[in-house]
Amino acid sequence: MKEICERFPGSFEAMEPCDGSTPQERKRRAEALVLRLRTSPCRSIDDFLERNQDLLGDGKIAIASCLLPREDERRLLDTKDWYTYLIEWWLKRPVKLAVITFNYERSFEQAFYLALKDVCGEEEARTRIRGARTSHERQLITVAHVHGSFGLLPWCALPHGSGLPYGITQESDVGVRVKQAAEQLRLVFEPPTGRALARCRPYLARASRVLFLGFGYDQRNLERIDPIWSTEKLQPTATIAGTAHGPAGPTGPLEDEAKQLLRRWAGSEWHGELKVVPKKIVEAIQQYGWLP
């Protein structure tokens, strides 16, 4: 939200027009959005746009214009974080892994793809990650974006190479790319794409271990992947674990609130182990042995 307030009017004005607007018109629209955002009591851009749906189109463009440039492959390769930890673990133990993400950006699948390509080659990397939308029996990693994403990556798309590149590769493409990305986003209050949900629930039903990493425990997000409302049920003995790194909520510590929400989410038939810890992701994975 801070970045939108500081940079969006200038970046929107400078973009190549995709809707026939002039730079002056785009600047005026962006300034109108920012003026209302600065004085809003809302704590997230989703909440703000839910209350101001007349700004929804430009709001999505603002989100995409801030986040899409962060898809930087150099930064992705140079940063040592929990992606690195998970990828190194997975390469030694290639189990079936389903990732249900509420983020728009595509850093997770790109990081895995680059690591796999380095180890086993491009074709095998595409085969193992279900971005390619194949049903190949050797496919081991599925990534589903519940709220949409900035588009299928070129190595994911069919025909091969027809997707949208990771990040912005040319300054002249900024306006077109941002508009393409914005059109595919679904905010928390909007209906999600049915395809993403259809892919999520069967994986939850088969999972022996469900980890909530960096998750905000928004009730609506849990409802999106709610096994109680689906024909698919969570395994009764599945392990559920999650991080809860953040400030206390209105009803107490975040981890206590998260535990209550996850118990309700899992349903009355579930009686497995539940562990929520006030740790960052790498600390939690390392200290509690969440990766078998």
Least Cα distance to 236 among 204, 213, 212, 211 occurs for 204
Query: For residue 122, is pLDDT > 70?
Result: yes
* Ramachandran quadrant class, 129 (left: phi over 0; alpha: psi -120 to 50; beta: rest): beta
Give the percent of the chain with pLDDT over 90.
37
* pLDDT for residue 132 is more than 50: no
- For 288, the token pair is 């509690």
More confident residue, 96 or 78: 96
Model's pTM, two decimal places?
A: 0.85
